[in-house]
Structure 1
Amino acid sequence: MDERPAEPGMWERLYRLWIAHADELRSNLGVLQAQNMLREAHRVLRTLSGRRAVLLALRRPVSGQAKPGAADTLAGPGQPCERTQQ
């Protein structure tokens, strides 16, 4: 596990830049794409305070067989997953 303490601050700066340059986003990317980006920025900015960012790498055992309940039981793409409280 790798702690990334600067990551939430990086996202906050990026989202604030998107908001500050909203007109340029609309002009360069189109109204729909800019609208989606700005909606994301406003939604995520509310949750960044106190967020802990980590990178977690999982390794399968050398045998190739994971024990029941191991990482092979995580939800796949498009399946609901459990989120921990931030």
Structure 2
Amino acid sequence: MDERPAEPAMRERLYRLWITRADELRAELGEAQAANMLHEAHQMLPTLPGRRAVLLTLRRPANAPAAPGAADRMTAPRRHPGDRPAISERTPQ
């Protein structure tokens, strides 16, 4: 597990930038994408104070095969109405 102490402050700056430049976002990305980003910014900003950000990496030992039925990939993110399909959300393996 790796601590990421600067991440909450970075996200706060990013979300505030989105909000202050909302008109530019709409012009550049379109109304739907800008609305999604602004919704995220308004929803997440209040949760950032005191937030602990970590990166957790799980590894299976090379000599330990996966048990039958074990998950070996992350599940796909949930889609929300109005979301555009992503080009690709898979990480090359």
1:58, distance to aligned residue in structure 2 (A): 1.2
Stretches of structure 1 that go unaligned for 5 or more consecutive residues are: 80-86
CA distance in 2, matches of 1:12, 1:65: 41
How large is the RMSD of aligned CA atoms in angstroms? 2.4
Whole-angstrom CA distance in 1 between matches of 2:71 and 2:29: 39
The aligned residue for residue 28 of structure 2 is 28
Is 2:4 the counterpart of 1:4? yes
Give the structure-1-normalised TM-score.
Answer: 0.75
The amino acid that maps onto 2:41 is A
Which whole-Å deviations, capped at 9, do the CAs of 1:43-85 have from their partners, x for residues lacking one?
0111111110111111102322368xxxx56994159xxxxxx
**CA distance in structure 1 between the aligned counterparts of 2:18 and 2:49, rounded to whole angstroms:** 18
Q: Secondary structure at the match of 2:49?
A: coil
The size of the alignment, in residue pairs, is: 76
Change (3 A) 1:75 1:51: farther
Unaligned runs of 5+ in 2: 78-93
Q: Select the structure that is richer in helix.
A: 1
Q: Runs of 4+ in structure 1 displaced over 6 angstroms?
A: none
Distance 1:44 1:74 in 2: 30
